[in-house]
Amino acid sequence: MTTREDAPAATPAPTPAAPPTAWNWPRTPLSNRYGTTVTEIFDNAADGRRVAVIEGGVWPTVGADLTVHEDATHVRRGTVTKVELILEFRAPARVVVWADLAQEPL
């Protein structure tokens, strides 16, 4: 079998260097363990990076204080600036929370 000259070259799928986390997932997976709502926390102070994915719907009020435990030695604290509910076809609902967070040691 020959390959067409105008056919695009196949490229292998990228493999993550580390296990998937909230920091390196390109998007929330199509389904989670229970196919339920997930909550994503984005940090405005870290160029809008996602810092947490929570299984289940969490709906904080704008202006509420928020604490995200990043790892065993750091925590991010700040104020919620925006909350949205994202409904998509064939995907669990997502609650997206944006906050101005500052990293602090524990």
Decide if pLDDT at 68 tops 70. Answer: yes
In a domain, 9, yes or no: no
CB 49 within 8 A of CB 43: yes
Task: Give the pLDDT mean for 63-68.
Answer: 94
In a domain, 31, yes or no: no
Task: Give the pLDDT mean for 84-89.
Answer: 87
In a domain, 45, yes or no: yes
CB 24 within 8 A of CB 78: no
In a domain, 18, yes or no: no
3-state secondary structure 73-86: CEEEEEEEEEEEEE
pTM of the predicted structure, to 2 decimals: 0.68
Distances (CA, A) of 101 to 15, 20, 64: 30, 22, 12
CB 104 within 8 A of CB 70: no
In a domain, 43, yes or no: yes
Rounded CA separation 95/92 (Å):
10
Decide if pLDDT at 85 tops 70. Answer: yes
Decide if pLDDT at 4 tops 60. Answer: no
- Domain total in the chain: 1
Task: Give the pLDDT mean for 55-70.
Answer: 90
In a domain, 94, yes or no: yes
